[in-house]
């Protein structure tokens, strides 16, 4: 049965070996033809039969040129092995024309034998060695009519040498193929790991910048690009270059913590810069504290609520006693108000610890805000303010409706309280929705109160921070947590003669 080779039968990088061998073969054929042309007397080569040598060299050049073209355009192992068989026959004929094994052509014949066994699988490689042995026997003992015993012995030894070379070459070929296959697998694995690592670094929530000893940027991720103007191959910006090993800098409205970490296993002087948002660090610390507080509150809520209920009920009963004076009744009211404040604080902390997973829905914002405004007017039960809504009809957002109602109720009741306190019957409250870009919607809640003092603004969203004696300090913090649960943000925007809180939501 004929053996059919496939490109996968070649050793790894066999195509390159074929091309190099085709160049060698063409060079050898041209060299032999030129030498025969210059050697007019055939003193060096072709002395036995100049005609056979000239014809053989000419055929060799044409065949080598054709093989070089094929090997460079589309290497085919079947054509390559066929060419090796033909080349061995041509070199055997040239050896005969130059005087036989003693002419030196025997060494040239061994090269195609080795190349064939590098390229071909076992049986076919040994077939090339057998073909070479037959060619040598024929040219030495039949074509040249050699009858001497030493001619047969030399031919036999040469044939044995061909099989030894074939065996050694195939052993080396298998080891080379195994080593190259392993190297290729390792290269593919490392390339995949590099791709995975790069993607992981690009999407990290913190910024990463890699630099060399000359402060040239080698790599940076998406978060670092948001904060700084970075270009690979350029030097670090002055803001980063002048910063210390562990320092805090400002980029826009963010305060960033920088950490320089040397890379000991890399090139000398290479280092990484880790960039973290200090606000996120403080938020994570607050989450841990509130989670612990929530668990503690949940465990003691029952023990606190029972005494609170008893205190409040006792204060109410005491206030109804006819013999109490007005100043004493005010004291009972204070007791009742403080009991209500403690209970409200417990409820807020429990709501943080029990907060359910948000379920975002597509909301048509304009009718939803109109419905919310009616509910707000029923809850507030006062006509001493004006509520206005400006929202295009085509705006749709993705948000949990229950959590959005909780956020707006908190913001609107707070804003309304301060507006009434500052403007009385001229209190104003507005909800204005605008389209920022393709994917973002701004919802501004604006009142005409006295605004927020500059020294209080950095602490607005901190838990338990309040300027009201009756407040818990958890309202705005809870608003921010609910916004983040819906992939939204809430920010305070200072405006003249009032207060503005902006919710940045995703468009549906």
Q: Where are the domains of the chain?
A: 7-185, 207-279, 281-353, 361-506
User: For residue 13, what pLDDT is reported?
Assistant: 47
User: For residue 374, what pLDDT is reported?
Assistant: 86
User: Is the dihedral angle over the CA atoms 54, 60, 63, 69 positive or is it negative?
Assistant: negative
3-class secondary-structure state, position 41: coil
Take residue 369 and report the two structure tokens written for it.
Answer: 């805000």
Rounded CA separation 240/228 (Å): 9
Q: Which fold has domain 207-279?
A: Beta-Lactamase (3.30.450)
- Per-10-residue mean pLDDT, the chain, length 508: 46 67 89 84 76 88 90 78 87 83 80 83 81 84 59 81 87 81 87 85 86 88 85 84 76 76 83 82 67 66 75 82 79 81 71 66 91 82 78 89 88 87 84 82 90 84 72 78 84 88 87
Give the DSSP letter string of 391-450: --TT-EEEE-HHHHHHHHHHHHHHHHHHHHHHHGGGEEEEEEEEE-SSSEEEEEEEE-S-
3-class secondary-structure state, position 346: helix
Q: Check: pTM over 0.85? Answer yes or no.
A: no
Q: Please state which CATH number belongs to domain 361-506.
A: 3.30.565.10
User: For residue 433, what pLDDT is reported?
Assistant: 92
User: For residue 435, what pLDDT is reported?
Assistant: 87
User: For residue 418, what pLDDT is reported?
Assistant: 86
449 contact partners, CB below 8 Å, separation of at least 6? 415, 418, 419, 421, 422, 423, 498, 499
């Amino acid at each position: 049965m004929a053996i059919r080779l496939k490109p996968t039968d070649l050793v790894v990088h066999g195509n390159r070996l074929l091309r190099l061998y085709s160049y060698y073969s063409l060079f050898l054929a041209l060299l032999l033809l030129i030498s025969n042309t210059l050697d007019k007397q055939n003193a060096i080569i072709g002395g036995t039969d100049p005609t056979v040598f000239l014809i053989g060299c000419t055929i060799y050049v044409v065949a080598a040129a054709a093989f070089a073209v094929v090997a460079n355009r589309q290497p085919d192992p079947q054509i390559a092995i066929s060419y090796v068989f033909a080349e061995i026959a041509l070199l055997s004929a040239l050896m005969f024309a130059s005087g036989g094994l003693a002419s030196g052509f025997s060494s040239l014949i061994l090269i195609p034998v080795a190349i064939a066994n590098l390229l071909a699988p076992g049986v076919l490689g040994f077939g090339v060695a057998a073909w070479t042995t037959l060619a040598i026997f024929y040219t030495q003992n039949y074509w040249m009519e050699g009858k001497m015993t030493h001619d047969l012995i030399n031919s036999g030894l040469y044939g044995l040498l061909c099989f030894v070379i074939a065996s050694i070459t195939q052993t080396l070929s298998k080891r080379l193929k195994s080593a190259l296959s392993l190297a290729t697998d390792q290269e593919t694995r490392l390339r995949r790991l590099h791709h995975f690592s790069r993607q992981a670094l690009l999407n990290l929530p913190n910024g990463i910048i890699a630099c060399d000893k000359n402060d040239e940027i080698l790599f940076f991720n998406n978060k670092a690009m948001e904060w700084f103007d970075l270009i690979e191959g350029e030097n670090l910006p002055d803001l980063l270059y002048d910063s210390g090993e562990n320092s805090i800098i400002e980029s826009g409205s963010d305060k960033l913590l920088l950490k320089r970490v040397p890379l000991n296993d890399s090139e000398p002087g290479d280092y990484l810069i880790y960039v973290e948002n200090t606000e996120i660090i403080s938020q994570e610390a607050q989450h841990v504290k509130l989670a612990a507080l929530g668990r503690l509150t949940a465990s003691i809520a029952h023990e606190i609520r029972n005494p609170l209920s008893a205190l409040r009920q006792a204060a109410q009963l005491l206030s109804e006693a006819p013999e109490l004076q007005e100043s004493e009744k005010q004291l009972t009211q204070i007791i009742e108000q403080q009991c209500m404040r403690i209970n409200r604080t417990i409820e807020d902390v429990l709501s943080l610890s029990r907060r359910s997973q948000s379920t975002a829905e597509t909301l048509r914002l304009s009718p939803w805000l109109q419905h919310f405004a009616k509910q707000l007017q029923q809850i507030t039960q006062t006509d001493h303010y004006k509520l206005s809504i400006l929202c295009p009809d085509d705006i749709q957002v993705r948000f949990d409706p229950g959590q959005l109602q909780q956020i707006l109720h908190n913001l609107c009741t707070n804003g309304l309280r301060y507006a009434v306190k500052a403007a009385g019957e001229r209190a104003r409250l507005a909800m204005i929705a605008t389209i920022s870009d393709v994917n973002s919607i701004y919802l501004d809640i604006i009142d005409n109160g006295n605004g927020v003092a500059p020294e209080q603004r950095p602490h607005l969203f901190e838990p338990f921070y309040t300027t009201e004696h009756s407040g818990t300090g958890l309202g705005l913090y809870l608003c921010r947590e609910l916004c983040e649960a819906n992939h939204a943000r809430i920010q305070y925007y200072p405006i003249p003669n009032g207060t503005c809180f902006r919710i940045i939501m995703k468009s549906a």
